[in-house]
Chains A and B, each alone.
Chain A
């Protein structure tokens, strides 16, 4: 079974721009969660989607948004990029039932200049 895939792997943007990242979950997984990883803050939860609905959201500003498609693929968007948005963005998929393991993709490395 193929793992979680994320595209693109690397991205360079400038302040004020917007970016869209994509995540394809493991086949059969209906839940996709997004995390931001930085050296200073570690891994922080952004949001989770299940069956095309945002089920939960972390403590990030409204510039961070996401969506999920009927095939469970998910995208996250960051608008009006700031320097502090430079990070590794990880998505993780699971079957979506309580207490199930999340499996991570390789991440998208975003650099904001």
Chain B
């Protein structure tokens, strides 16, 4: 079946460096993607989203890039801080709307080195 997946289970970066978390999706008809951050003991927290008619979207310290040609999504975090330590999930919203559940990747655990 089609699924959304992440390339690396763990990513370790130095505090202050930029982080890039990658995600591959297989449903070429998907039209909406979301990045969530989940800290230990908490539910996923919305970070940023992007629709398929865009290839880049920026937020505060975060940027999401969408490459529809290779079905790839990435999350860039600028000047990584200790508070950025968490598991990051990309999620795919199936084509046609919100009636179906989100399909999540397995997650990447971002570890910040002091």
Contact = CB atoms under 8 A, between A and B. Distances in A.
Interface stretch (A12-20, A62-70, A89-97): A89-97
Contacts of A90: 43-44
Contact of B46 (A48, A97, A101): A101
Given A98-B96, A101-B49, A48 B44 contact: no
Interface stretch (B12-20, B58-66, B71-79, B103-111): B103-111
B107 A98 contact: no
In this complex, the interface size class of chain B, counting residues with CB under 8 Å from chain A, is 20 to 34
Nearest to A48: B101
Contact of B101 (A35, A50, A98, A103): A35
A104 B45 contact: yes
B43 A31 contact: no
Contact of B99 (A46, A56, A105, A107): A56
A58 interface: yes
Contacts of B36: 104
Interface string B90-114: 0101001111111111110000000
A100 B101 contact: no
A56 B100 contact: yes
B89 interface: yes
In this complex, the interface size class of chain A, counting residues with CB under 8 Å from chain B, is 20 to 34
Contact of A106 (B32, B43, B49, B101): B43
A103 B46 contact: yes
A45 B97 contact: no
Interface of B: 31-32, 34, 36, 41-46, 49, 51, 89, 91, 93, 96-107
20 contacts: A33-B102, A42-B105, A42-B106, A43-B44, A43-B89, A45-B101, A47-B101, A90-B43, A92-B43, A98-B99, A99-B32, A99-B51, A99-B93, A99-B98, A100-B98, A101-B34, A101-B49, A104-B36, A106-B43, A107-B43
Interface of A: 4, 6, 31, 33, 35, 42-48, 50, 55-56, 58, 90, 92, 94, 96-107
